[in-house]
Amino acid sequence: MITTCCIGSVKIPRTAILAPMAGVADRAYRLLCREYGAAAAVSEMVSVKGLCYGDKASAQLCTITENEHPMGLQLFGSEPDFVARAAAMVQQFQPDWLDINMGCPVHKVVATGAGSALMKDIPLAQEIVRAAVRESRVPVTVKFRLGWDASCCNAVEFAQAMEDAGAAAIAVHGRTKEQLYSGKADWNAIRQVKQSVTIPVIGNGDVRTAADCLAMYEQTGCDLVMVGRGSYGNPFVFREIEAVISGEAYRQPTLEQRMETMLYHIRLILQCNPQKPPEIAIREARKHAAWYMNGLYGAAKFRARCYHLGSYAEAEMLAADFLALQKQRADFLPDKAL
């Protein structure tokens, strides 16, 4: 049975939500994942300074369409003043909640004192959360990692400080800043965080299947699970999670369904970028097209074609050729399941 988790007064089914991913989880991706069962989504991170200085691209990242709700808007910054102003400003976009990024390990972000650098300055991180809470009509959450590095894993202390500062929930990625994306996410550490606070904890890191999602709930006791890279070329993972949690039978998509979804995703990308000529907008689709083929027979050969996609018609041909290759192989190896 699917229960719910509350971020403030926002009720979210306890299946899995889509992680914020700059350069990947844009509007088309969020719409697709929501349609395939993601319980909610979070925007790509948006610079508070960009917003305060009137940068149009930053404001554009904050726009939310009807089918994306419930959705969190993620802000990053290191100065409470700017965070407060940005938090007030983005209320017009009617997010369901605001999330503050305190986990980003990217040098450009950390060098400004934002992202995971805030894990090294708990009083400043608290000031930032208080500033956002003061200016926001919607709940404020914080997403962070286990700490800076192996010698400074302060996620429990940090989580408690975020709760004290007024965070309505926290999302924890089970790696340190130094690890970036290497090694395995430490779910035991997420469990320790969960046991140390009373606000909902969103577990994150290395959930790629419904079985992983169930294991994350069970091993960490978390209130909600967040999926990032596991949805690359695989929005089906959300349907699988939903089905397994509600005790329904689930069938993996066929190759035809994978290719249909890839084409649907590309159409969404084109629709969501009406200001760009299609030959430019299609570039956004290239990495996604390659991800839909990952792990399948002949994917390596097709990767180059994916990275040179120039039009929707080419994408249709690509899908047809890919399916034809799979069929040839099936005819050659009739007893092998694809």
Ligand X SMILES: Cc1cc2nc3c(=O)[nH]c(=O)nc-3n(C[C@H](O)[C@H](O)[C@H](O)COP(=O)(O)O)c2cc1C
Over the Cα atoms of the chain, what is R_g?
20
**Closer residue to ligand X, CB minimum distance, 99 or 135:** 99
Min dist CB 336 to ligand X, Å, is 31
Least distance CB 298 / ligand X (angstroms): 25
- Cα(235)–Cα(40) distance, integer angstroms: 13
Residue of minimal Cβ distance to ligand X: 228
Q: In the complex, what is the shortest distance from the CB of residue 41 to ligand X, in angstroms, rounded to a whole number? A: 11
Is the preceding omega at residue 70 within 30 degrees of 0, hence cis? yes
Which of 13, 70, 200, 228 is close enough to bind ligand X by CB under 6 A? 228
Q: Which own/partner contact pairs does 322-326 have at CB distance under 8 Å and 24+ positions apart?
A: 322/255, 322/259, 322/293, 322/296, 322/298, 323/255, 323/256, 323/259, 325/297, 325/298, 326/255, 326/296, 326/297, 326/298
Pick the closer one to ligand X by CB: 194 or 326.
Answer: 194
Query: Which amino acid appears at position 175 of this protein?
Result: R
- Tell me the two tokens of residue 256: 């035809």
Q: Angle CA(174)–CA(176)–CA(182) in degrees, nearest 5?
A: 80
Alpha carbon distances (Å) from 81 to 60, 92, 98, 124, 215: 22, 19, 16, 11, 40
- Closer to ligand X at the Cβ: 232 or 322? 232
Binding region for ligand X (CB under 6 A) out of 18-26, 158-166, 256-264, 312-320? 18-26
Segment interacting with ligand X, rule: CB under 6 A, options 211-219, 223-231, 258-266, 312-320 = 223-231
CB of 25 to ligand X, least distance (A): 7
Q: Does 309 bind ligand X (CB under 6 A)?
A: no
Q: Which token pair is 176?
A: 């340190």
Helices (H), the chain: 27-35, 48-52, 56-61, 80-89, 107-110, 122-135, 155-165, 187-196, 210-220, 236-245, 255-272, 278-281, 286-293, 299-306, 312-332
Site for ligand X in 44-83 (CB under 6 A): 44-45, 74
Asked whether position 179 contacts ligand X by CB under 6 A, the answer is: no
Active-site pick, 33, 52, 62, 104: 104
207 forms part of the interface with ligand X (CB under 6 A): yes
Given 26, 96, 127, 206, the residue binding ligand X (CB under 6 A): 206
Q: Applying CB under 6 A, which part among 15-23, 125-133, 284-292, 312-320 lies near ligand X?
A: 15-23
Active site residue 62: no
The only residue of 78, 176, 204, 273 in contact with ligand X, by rule CB under 6 A? 204
Q: Is 143 in the site for ligand X (CB under 6 A)?
A: yes
Residue 229 found at the interface with ligand X (CB under 6 A): yes
- The residue whose two tokens read 């306890």 is 14
Nearer to ligand X, 228 or 235 (CB): 228
Residue 275 and residue 78: Cα distance in Å, rounded?
A: 32
Q: Which of residues 84-103 bind ligand X (CB under 6 A)?
A: 101, 103
| Cβ contact 76:114 at 8 Å | yes
Judged by CB under 6 A, the number of residues near ligand X is 22
Q: Which residues bind ligand X (CB under 6 A)?
A: 19-24, 44-45, 74, 101, 103-104, 143, 173, 204-207, 227-230
- Kindly list the catalytic residues: 104
